[in-house]
Amino acid sequence: MMSLQLKNIQKMRKALGLTQSDLARLSGVSQSLIAKIEAGRIDPSFSKTMAIFETLQKLQLKNSKKVKSVMTKEVISVDAESSVREVVKLMHKHAISQMPVLSKDEVIGSVSEKALIKKLAEESPKLLFMKKVKEVMEPSFPTVNEDTPIDLLIPILNFYPAILVMKGKIIAGIVTRADLLKPE
């Protein structure tokens, strides 16, 4: 998203296909105020500026691509009682590096290659592979719904390897960094 500066209002408005009158009506300000701001002839009040930017941001989010357009619908998961050996085989077979951990169809954690590699530094592969997933799992991935704008995922994926897409308590999909990088 573009930075919130007065000089960007015109660019943002045009990118959304709005006229000055449209933006004024949606923001609850006058068209002449929009024209003066865009021409740099006025320094509007904070409340008027916020109303304009809030309107522009809502419209940007409404028009942006949604999670359901990039998520992977077939989510590979593992039961908390499975062995680490089984997890490693699943990851290798499906060419994935992380997955949710379930117990009775409820998400209770996550497991990733990165976490397993850290554990290898602490103990032998033989001992690690015999452990149950619940002994080595990490907290669950963050969750969103299918209509979440993709733009909101980028900062989350800087801290987590995946995001689960939920429909109620059911996993509808998963989004990883690789999903965001798929060519259209």
pLDDT tens-digit series, residues 122-152: 999 899 999 999 999 999 999 999 988 888 8
Give the pTM.
0.67
Q: Which structural domain, as residue segments, surrounds residue 96?
A: 68-180
Q: Could you say which DSSP state residue 52 is in?
A: H
Question: Which tokens hold the place of 127?
Answer: 């001992």
pLDDT at 114 over 50: yes
1 band by pLDDT with thresholds 50, 70 and 90 = very low
d(C-alpha 154, C-alpha 94), whole Å:
24
Q: Are 99 and 157 part of one and the same domain?
A: yes
Q: Could you say which DSSP state residue 6 is in?
A: G
The reply to whether 1 falls in a domain is no
Q: Are 108 and 30 part of one and the same domain?
A: no
d(C-alpha 177, C-alpha 59), whole Å:
25
d(C-alpha 175, C-alpha 37), whole Å:
40
